């Protein structure tokens, strides 16, 4: 019938792409369709060669120095996040979130902070600039955060004895995946921002 609406045709895909719904997806690397449509990786897992596996445990380095790519930004609700993209083997973001009530020059036990509240520490594995996606996200559910210095342009401190758990929901609204991956970090010393505090 000439006036009938067009039928939504599923696209024809070539391997390693697969038709999932009305999209061609690369099931060799897609965390939500790993190896097949609807096969979702757990929190902290990356999809590689059509299989889900925990991200490497060494992608968070012991020292993060200031870089021209660092960002300090207001994400709403009075929370500021400091981001270091950690340009090692890929782009691996390291994030510290804080607010006006976050103590400076004091030890903060992250196991006593409600998930999603400030302060928090999160890490991501293998962020893609091309697709604006990340392979795996983690949130520190335990450990000691010590912020030495903070101002509008700079944040520095130390994270010790941290336990990171695979999460979903992004960095500012995380949910720990009970079936996700876990790793520990002994110490991370960080300095983020472009200019030291006056």
What pLDDT is recorded for position 148? 96
Are residues 83 and 95 in contact, defined by beta-carbon separation less than 8 angstroms? yes
Nearest to 183 by CA among 160, 166, 159: 166
Backbone angles phi, psi at 59, to 5 degrees: -80, -10
Residue 1: pLDDT over 80: no
Domain ranges of the chain: 63-193
Q: Mean per-residue pLDDT for 136-154? A: 95
pLDDT tens-digit readout, 25-54: 999 998 899 999 999 999 999 999 999 999
Residue 7: pLDDT over 70: no
pLDDT tens-digit readout, 78-129: 999 999 998 877 899 999 999 999 999 999 999 999 998 999 999 999 998 8
What pLDDT is recorded for position 171? 75
Per-residue CA distances from 103 to 147, 148, 170 (Å): 8, 9, 24
CA-to-CA distance for 79 and 55, rounded, in angstroms? 28
What pLDDT is recorded for position 195? 78
CA-to-CA distance for 165 and 100, rounded, in angstroms? 26
What pLDDT is recorded for position 146? 98
CA-to-CA distance for 156 and 151, rounded, in angstroms? 10
Average pLDDT, the chain: 90
Q: How does residue 198 score in pLDDT terms, banded at 50, 70 and 90?
A: confident
């Amino acid at each position: 019938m000439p006036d009938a609406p067009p039928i939504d045709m599923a696209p024809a895909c070539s391997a390693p792409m697969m038709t999932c719904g009305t999209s061609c997806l690369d099931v060799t690397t897609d965390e939500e369709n790993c190896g097949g449509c609807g096969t979702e990786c757990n929190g902290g897992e990356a999809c590689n060669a059509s299989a889900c596996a925990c991200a490497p445990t060494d992608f968070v380095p012991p020292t993060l120095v200031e870089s021209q790519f660092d960002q300090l930004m207001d994400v709403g609700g009075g929370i500021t996040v400091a981001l270091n993209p950690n340009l090692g083997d890929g782009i691996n973001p390291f994030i510290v979130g804080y607010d006006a009530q976050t103590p400076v020059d004091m030890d903060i036990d992250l196991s006593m902070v409600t998930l999603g509240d400030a302060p928090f520490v999160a890490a991501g594995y293998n962020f893609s600039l091309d697709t604006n996606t990340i392979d795996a996200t983690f949130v520190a559910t335990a450990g000691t955060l010590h912020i030495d210095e903070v101002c509008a342009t700079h944040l520095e401190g130390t994270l010790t004895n941290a336990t990171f758990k695979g999460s979903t929901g992004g960095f500012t609204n995380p949910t720990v995946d009970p079936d996700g991956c876990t790793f520990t970090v002994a110490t991370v010393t960080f300095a983020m921002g472009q200019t030291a505090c006056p």
